[in-house]
Amino acid sequence: MAAAAPDRADDHAPQIHWHDGQAAHQARWRCERLWAAPKRVQVVNDTWAADAAYKLACEGTALLWEGDFPQARHLLDALARRCDRGPRRARSGRATPTPDTPPTPATAFHRHRAAQAQRARVLSQLLIPIEAGYHLALRRAPDVQQACEEAWGPDDGQASVVSLRELLGLIGAHEWRSKGVPVPALGPSPANRIHPHYGVFSPVRGEYVDLVKQAPLPAGADSLAMDIGTGTGVLAAVLARRGVRQVLATELQARALACARENLQRLGVQAAVTLVAADLFPPAPSPRAALVVCNPPWLPARPGSPLEAAVYDEDSRMLRGFLQGLPAHLLPGGEGWLILSDLAEHLGLRSRAQLLGWIGDAGLVVLGRLDTRPRHRKAGDTQDPLHAARAAEVTSLWRLGQAA
């Protein structure tokens, strides 16, 4: 085992350093969560026992794999099983006591996130070396070149190291991007699919898309509408398919802009949608519209990765920014459509009174609301630590207008 040396000041990218007993090595460190390169690295292979690997991973030692690729996946599964074990038993053989008073929903949420973050830390200690050209020099390894190019861009000729868990995420994202996600709100044709890119949230929860398809368009919306934070471009495409002649769709993330552009072209609605790189609203001078749509992240918490930024909105920054900026971008008589789940309310992270207060403080009134129940798998999973909140969740399209 060797300590990783600190990155050199002239490195253009973070580096990871290790020693295999014969020579010193270094490679580019890739980590979507922006965690620092590990300081301790142990080279492991098929001969290592899962318990020994798990002990090192829990202590913060990275495990650089040099064996058979399927065996690396087996080891990752074994580490996951050890992470998911119940509370350790005391020496007496009795289970660790639990408090009599159940935690509040907010406490349960924060504990669950902390446990998930710790689990991710441990599982991310199993690392895979990638040679120049995005080639895996491991026995029975898959071809990951296209998946890596889609996530990281063209190969720069450098060897790199990434966690196996993240690499499997790249492979899965490539598969989703290839086959796409069906979106019934876009029409009955099998070709009406959204192809999410790596790092861009997929519209697998179709109930919020259905709300945008069903809500009556306000007068004048067929001329111009805005989609704030378009992501994959799915809501902009739905509006275009509903007959809106011009949609201004904003997005801050470069990955999402590229994803939206590709999806709009696939669906044949690119002429009706103008993509704008912007944080929330289009930069001045911006036209006013009869309809402005926004589907902000639903939970007020700090995201741990770019992908989580589609779920967690720290301090409700995007939600509050949308509400505050909406009146200046609405035509008289226009509507803002806020698509929002009330899961945060059931978790005790935000109250309904707080949301209504923000709406009123922005000079807005509620014109109406369309509600629907989630249809995703976790809503019926009684083993989910947040099951009670998920079972009560309602997703709403809030129709907002300017106060008189």
pLDDT in tens, 63-74: 999 999 999 999
Contacts of residue 138, defined as CB under 8 A and 6 or more positions apart, other chains included, come to 65, 66, 67, 68, 69, 72, 128, 129
Same structural domain, 251 and 354: yes
Same structural domain, 129 and 220: no
Cα separation, 396 vs 341, whole angstroms: 6
Same structural domain, 119 and 223: no
Cα separation, 283 vs 279, whole angstroms: 9
Contacts of residue 159, defined as CB under 8 A and 6 or more positions apart, other chains included, come to 27, 28, 129, 130, 131, 132
**Span 174-181, mean pLDDT?**
95
The predicted pLDDT at position 9 comes to 35
The predicted pLDDT at position 5 comes to 34
Model pTM score: 0.89
The predicted pLDDT at position 94 comes to 53
Same structural domain, 238 and 258: yes
Share of the chain above pLDDT 70, in %: 92
The last residue of one of the domains, among 148, 176, 204, is: 176
Same structural domain, 148 and 272: no
Domain that includes residue 337, residue range = 181-402
Question: Higher pLDDT residue, 77 or 308?
Answer: 77
The predicted pLDDT at position 89 comes to 43
The residue with tokens 């289970």 is 95
Residue 6 has pLDDT above 50, yes or no: no
Same structural domain, 254 and 341: yes
Is the Cβ–Cβ distance between 378 and 112 less than 8 Å? no
Question: HSE-up of 355 (CA within 13 Å, CB side)?
Answer: 22
Tokens matching residue 246: 């011009």
Q: What are phi and psi of 18, to 5 degrees?
A: -155, 170
Same structural domain, 29 and 84: yes
Number of structural domains (the chain) is 2
**Whether residue 6 has a cis bond before it, omega within 30° of 0:** no
Tokens matching residue 286: 């911006």
Same structural domain, 78 and 157: yes
Residue 372 has pLDDT above 80, yes or no: yes
Same structural domain, 255 and 397: yes
**Band of residue 1 on the pLDDT scale cut at 50, 70, 90:** very low
Contacts of residue 57, defined as CB under 8 A and 6 or more positions apart, other chains included, come to 63, 79, 122, 123, 125, 126
Same structural domain, 314 and 199: yes
The predicted pLDDT at position 380 comes to 66
Cα separation, 33 vs 237, whole angstroms: 30
The last residue of one of the domains, among 153, 176, 199, is: 176
Same structural domain, 157 and 219: no
**Span 145-160, mean pLDDT?**
95
**Band of residue 210 on the pLDDT scale cut at 50, 70, 90:** very high
Same structural domain, 149 and 258: no
Directed axis angle between helix 164-179 and helix 69-83, to 10°? 110
The predicted pLDDT at position 120 comes to 94
Cα separation, 98 vs 40, whole angstroms: 35
The last residue of one of the domains, among 176, 205, 224, is: 176
Residue 268 has pLDDT above 50, yes or no: yes
The predicted pLDDT at position 179 comes to 95
Cα separation, 170 vs 149, whole angstroms: 10
* Digit-coded pLDDT (tens) for 74-126: 999 999 999 998 555 444 455 555 556 778 999 999 999 999 999 999 999 99
**Band of residue 383 on the pLDDT scale cut at 50, 70, 90:** confident
CATH code for position 308: 3.40.50.150
